[in-house]
Structure 1
Amino acid sequence: MEPPPLEPPALGRRARVLLLAAVAACAACGLVYELALLTLSASLTGGGITETSLIVAGFVAALGLGALAAKPLLPHAAPVFVGVEVALGLVGGVSAAALYVAFTFLGSSTWVLVVATAAIGMLVGAEVPLLMTLLQTGRATDARDTGKVLANLNAADYAGALIGGLAWPFLLLPFAGLIRGAALTGMVNLCAAAVAALFLLRGHLRPAARALSLVALLLAAALLGGLLVNSSDIETTSRQRLYPDPIMFAQQSQYQEIVVTDRGGEVRLYLDGDLQFSSTDEHRYTETLVYPALSRDPERVLVLGGGDGLVAREALRQSAVREVVQVELDPAVLELGNTQLRDLNGGALQDERVTVVVADAFRWLRDRTGGGFDAVIVDLPDPDTPALGRLYSTEFYGLAAAALNPGGLLAVQSGSPYSTPDAYWRTVSSVSSAGLGVTPYHVHVPSFGDWGFVLAQAGSPPALELSATAAPRRFLDPATLDAAAIFPPDRPRLDLEPSTLDRPRIVDDMRRGYQR
């Protein structure tokens, strides 16, 4: 008859400290996985309130389910804890790659997002009851000692979460990217599991359990190592499926995924999968946005967004312009404008008349000092996320209007009055609600379809006209500009409530339009 199992020995003080350090490392990994899911949600699906709430609330709910699921396993806390950490390192490490591949090959990754959130949350949730059991095994404790153990455990857990929260945006994402960053985090998780299994909990594991743990660790590490080695090929193959043309440049910046394609000399720029321009017809878009705002021969021009340098290129062609201040959030886009896109923008961003400011446009407008501008041109990505939605709000346009000198003009790219009519007319209403007279207009840009803009000024709606000294243009002439102010009966003007910081209605407008 097999003798009953011996009671595992109590952990020594040094072992408890090291185990708490492992707890901190695992907590850091758990938070990195959650942040990676949120980042992927933003990149792949726009990261709206629904997706963000699904991840955050689903993760928290899964923590509770994981803690409950661990209750029957507490008598075997040591081997179960090692198994949980191996599984967490493996699932979390491959989650980013799985989501990316699912999105690019299947067209939807919501179900993978739900499964990954639930799996990671349950594994993280199982850690605390298992660790509490391990830290108290073999010790005679009262309520006060239990409280101290829980305080130490929570402190290590929260400290690790802080480390993970800082490591993801400042270290892993910018230097390793989404797929490699998650895989590297999985490796850290496996290292913590290895230290626990082979050293800290050695006396709590039978030889067979230690051998099984070692095999599982090696297999998981081999899988994640293979993912790290082949991540570039996986990412390249998956990404290419999203774009119709060969990719000549791709980078995940701190803010967005930047992709440039080139087929037969047609260069296209995509930010988070959204087309920003095609070199074959960008002149239609750029001229229509820029030249009405320059009709009064401004000397100082402010460009918000437009880090590709195309708006600055056209502004510098106007003989009256003496200074262009270019405000762009993402330095990676500016670097692209000075390298891959330099031939298209004519080196505008390096012109001595251009002052480049790397800053958030909203914050920069709020905190700016100095004189006003004779023209402000807003060339920002479409507001399909809450972060971008605030740049299409009444408050933002109020700040932009405050930057204008008397008689200055504001021009805003406003999306498609055909594909996303609610979002377009919402922008018109939001600009108007900032106390400006507005003139909506639109033209056909083959790459985008029917595309709309807003010209605004303090007081009455401004006239759509060109300066007598306007530089030669390939597309925009007075007749085309006159026609741009006419909207057909099937796309009439809509009177909508403005979008504000408190109610970013335009984000939902964009999504409804795309779904149609």
Structure 2
Amino acid sequence: MIEPHAPAPPGAPPSWAGPARLPVHPGTGRFLVLACVFVCAACGLVYELELVALASYLIGDSVTQASVVLSVMVFAMGIGSLLAKRLRWHAAAAFGALEALLALVGGCSAMALYAVFAWTGDWGGLWASGPRWLLVAFSLAIGVLIGAEVPLLMELIQRIRRQDAGGAVADLFAADYVGALVGGLAFPFLLLPLLGQLTGAMLTGGVNAVAGGALVLGLFRRDLTRRARWLLLAANLAVLGVLATAAVLVDDFERAAREAVYGTDVRVALQTGIQEVVLTGGTDGRPLGLYLDGRLRVSGRDERRYHEALVTPAMGGLHARVLVLGGGDGLAAREVLRYPDVRRVDIVEIDPAVVDLARRDPALSRLNGHVYGDARVRVTTADAFRRLRTAAPVPSYDVVIADLPDPGITASTKLYSEEFYGLVRRVLAPEGRLVVHAGPVFSRPRVFWTVESTMRAAGLHTTPYRVGGRDSGFAAGPDRTAGASRAPRDWGFVLASPGARPGLSPGARGPRPVTLTRESLRAAQSAAEATRIAGLPASTLVHPRY
């Protein structure tokens, strides 16, 4: 991927490539250079992972964001390696300046990306794509700077003690790869959980600046003029000052950015081990909003319409035992418990913090009817796929309700796969019913009909339907950069059964729905069928199609 500069063949080296005048023994100097390679490689990989993680969180579709960041960065590293060939005769000064600039760009990249998303994401037009363009720009800039490191470090290590090209490359890349391993493990297990993305990136930039500055000013200071040494010292101190100031202000910045995204009515904001959970409104007549990883999951303005449309058709048959996959907010269970002949409701929710919030928050627990105080409700904290896979294959549920995140979100694609619906079918009674929220129909019909095709591939007979009236003030799908003008205006659902094709009906024995009628459900089915895309292949674990 990177073509490092190889030293000249045996002969008289150029004047600028003479032996370095070191303050330490050459063996110690060589070790210090390799130690710097180790640190710089670790920092470089942290920058890379931080861009991938933040872009996946802000923009969505982690596969796409990882592909963009990695491919652009590797390409840019090649460009940086070529550009560094012109700097070999000032290798020490160039490396010191490069590391200071890399520390500044990499350390501030997360904050800049989040700022553009928070304050310009709802401007519309070209600004709606601002985070994407900034992501590419940072990937290019960081990649060029990282790529330039290797040729300059090769030059410096050869000036300490010249050796064959193969040996020098082996030493350099061994330190580089081990450093990348440490950085790759430190990001998810240390920096992200303890410091968060913004502070973690700033700390990494600080370490990067200190390592590069210490190597050049300590080991190769005699290669620099007095003026160059002072300039490099001032540059590094300025970078460290900027990063330290940003780290001190990061809490205020996050608070202001959160208000720019969610409004000033944020009541709860917490980062769980799985996702960010934000709760807004719900007091003084303001509608409640529940956001998971920045995507609107519950809106007090329209949640009744959504949950009635999700639950009511599925309860048209037998419904003594009900399984809710997702739905930790308790709102789907609230609709289920309106039916007096329900004997048991099992909820499988991956994030215990969501369940705890639904139990304890006064506004959310009031909205869900305090379902977690009902003895018929039992909660299992687990991934829905893993829970179904380990469950006994006994057809014990009359109704399964999949109230899961949007299928376009990468982490959710397995929950809309043929294998997943096969697992659901194992626990569904022969005449039981499964209902799935399959994303919006109008704005993403191909995704919706892929879900329906996948369910049919798993041996289920399907009845799709579409319900309008959705609050369009916030993006709920995989792309958080979509403003209100591009937010979905409807919900798409698929009702299915392993037996005959289920009919859409509010049910004669159940409670009367507030927002649905028999006629509106027939219209909802016709509206969905009018958008049908035939011949779509099923989505599987090894070939996701969302």
- Which residue, out of 275, 281, 286, partners 2:307? 286
Matches of 1:338 and 1:81 in 2, distance apart? 56
Matches of 1:424 and 1:65, distance apart in 2: 42
Quote the residue 1:436 is aligned against: 460
Does the C-alpha gap of structure 1 residues 347 and 32 become closer, same or farther in structure 2, counting only changes over 3 Å?
A: farther
Q: Name which of 6, 13, 20 aligns with 1:8.
A: 20
| Aligned equivalent of 1:43, options 39, 48, 57 | 57
* Residue 342 (structure 1) aligns with: 365
1:466–1:370 distance in 2 versus 1, CA, 3 Å: same
> Structure 1 residue 441: deviation in Å?
2.3
- 1:445 Cα deviation from its structure 2 partner: 3.5
Cα deviations across residues 137-196 of structure 1 (Å, max 9, x unaligned)?
13242x3xx434332322222222122222222332233332222222212212322432
Q: Distance in 2 between matches of 1:392 and 1:222?
A: 48
Identical residues among aligned pairs (%): 45
Instruction: Return closer, same or farther for 1:503/1:374 CA change in 2, 3 Å cut-off.
Output: same
Alignment-derived partner of residue 360 in structure 1: 383
What is the CA–CA distance in structure 2 between the aligned matches of 1:245 and 1:287, rounded to whole Å?
A: 30
* Unmatched 5+ stretches in structure 2: 1-14, 121-126, 473-488
* Residues 148 and 345 of structure 1, relative CA distance in 2, 3 Å threshold: farther
Residue 343 of structure 2 corresponds to residue 303 of structure 1: no
Offset from partner CA, 1:234-257 (integer Å, 9 cap, x none)? 333334333466333334555544
Cα contact 1:456–1:462 (8 A) shared by 2: yes
Instruction: Kindly state the Cα deviation for residue 411 of structure 1 after the two structures are TM-superposed.
Output: 0.7
Which amino acid in 2 is paired with 1:333? V
- 8 Å Cα contact 1:187/1:224 also seen in 2: yes
Judge conservation of contact 2:52–2:62 (CA < 8 Å) in 1. no
SS at match of 2:204: helix
Compute the displacement of 1:112 (Å).
Answer: 1.3
1:110 aligns with 2:150: no
Secondary structure of the residue that 1:382 maps to in structure 2? coil
Alignment-derived partner of residue 21 in structure 1: 35
- Give the Å deviation of 1:382: 1.6
| Contact kept in structure 2, 1:31 and 1:165, CA below 8 Å | yes
Larger relative contact order, structure 1 or 2 (CA cutoff 8 Å, min sep 6): 2
Letter of the 2:300 partner, please give it. S
Are residues 350 and 18 of structure 1, via their aligned partners in 2, closer, same or farther at CA, if it must alter by over 3 Å?
A: farther
The offset of 1:205, in angstroms, is 4.3
Confirm or deny: 8 A CA contact 1:392 1:499 kept in the other structure: no
Correspondence list, 1:364-513, <5 A:
364-369=387-392, 371-372=394-395, 373-447=397-471, 449-466=489-506, 470-471=510-511, 473-476=513-516, 478=518, 480-487=520-527, 491-501=530-540, 502-505=542-545, 507=546
CA pair 160-351 structure 1, distance change in 2 beyond 3 A:
farther
**Residue 249 of structure 1 pairs with residue 262 of structure 2:** no
- Amino acid of the residue matched to residue 52 of structure 2? L
- Deviations along 1:366-412, one digit per CA (max 9) or x if unpaired, are 34446443321111122223333332232322222223133221110
Letter in 2 for 1:134: L
Worse-matched range after superposition: 179-188 or 419-428: 419-428
**TM-score, normalization: structure 1?**
0.87
SS of the residue corresponding to residue 81 of structure 1 reads helix
The alpha carbon displacement at 1:64 in A equals 1.1
Alpha-carbon distance in 1 for matches of 2:216, 2:161: 20
* Equivalent residue number for residue 124 of structure 1: 146
Query: How far apart are the structure 2 equivalents of 1:39 and 1:335?
Result: 26
For residue 279 of structure 2, give the secondary structure of its aligned residue in structure 1. Answer: strand
1:94 partnered with 2:94: no
User: How has the CA–CA distance of structure 1 residues 156 and 378 changed in structure 2, closer, same or farther, with 3 Å as cutoff?
Assistant: same
Matched residue, 1:151:
170
Question: What's the offset of the Cα at 1:434?
Answer: 1.3
| Matching residue of 1:165 | 184
- Asked whether the equivalents of residues 81 and 127 of structure 1 are also in contact (C-alpha less than 8 Å), the reply is yes
Deviation at 1:483, TM superposition (A): 4.7
2:281: which partner in 1? 262
Between 1:74-83 and 1:196-205, the stretch displaced more is 196-205
Structure 1 position 457, deviation (Å): 0.8
Amino acid at match of 1:216: A
Secondary structure (helix, strand or coil) at the match of 2:433 reads strand
Code of the residue aligned with 1:117 in structure 2: it is: S
Query: Would the alpha carbon gap of residues 480 and 37 (structure 1) be closer, same or farther in structure 2, given more than 3 Å must change?
Result: same
Unaligned runs of 5+ in 1: 508-516
In 2 relative to 1, CA 282–185 (structure 1 residues): closer, same or farther, beyond 3 Å? Answer: same
Paired AA for residue 56 in structure 1: L
Distance change in 2, residues 1:359/1:193 (3 Å): farther
- Paired residue type of 1:408: G
Label 1:172 to 1:488 Cα distance change in 2 as closer, same or farther (>3 A).
closer
Contact kept, 8 Å, 2:506 with 2:516, in 1: the verdict is no
Secondary structure in structure 2 of the residue aligned to 1:266: coil
Amino acid at match of 1:46: G
Aligned to 2:78: 64
Moved more, 132-141 or 11-20: 11-20
Q: Could you tell me which residue of structure 2 aligns to residue 510 of structure 1?
A: none
Shift of 1:333: 3.3
Distance 1:317 1:163 in 2: 53
Q: Work out whether residues 307 and 328 of structure 1, in 8 Å CA contact, stay in contact via their aligned partners in 2.
A: yes
User: Residues 26 and 480 (structure 1 numbering): CA distance in 2 closer, same or farther, change over 3 Å?
Assistant: same
Task: Give the whole-Å Cα distance in 2 for the aligned partners of 1:275 and 1:290.
Answer: 19
The one-letter code sitting in structure 2 at the alignment partner of 1:77 is: A
1:514 alignment counterpart: none
Aligned length: 499
